[in-house]
Amino acid sequence: MKKEHVKMSHADREALTAMLAKGALKAKAFKRATGLLELDRGKTFKEVAKTLSVDYNTVSNWRKSYHRDGIACLHDKPRPGRPIVIDGEQRAKVTALACSDAPRGYGRWGLRLLAEKVVERGYCDSISHTQVGNILKKTS
- Residue-wise pLDDT for 119-137, tens only, equals 999 999 999 999 999 999 9
pLDDT tier at 3 (50, 70, 90 boundaries)? low
d(CA 86, CA 84): 6
- Predicted TM-score (pTM) of the model is 0.59
**1 has a pLDDT exceeding 50:** no
Judged by DSSP in three states, 64 sits in: helix
- Residue-wise pLDDT for 24-44, tens only, equals 889 999 999 999 999 999 899
- Residue-wise pLDDT for 63-79, tens only, equals 999 999 999 999 888 88
Complete DSSP assignment for 23-47: T-S-HHHHHHHHHHHHHHTT--HHH
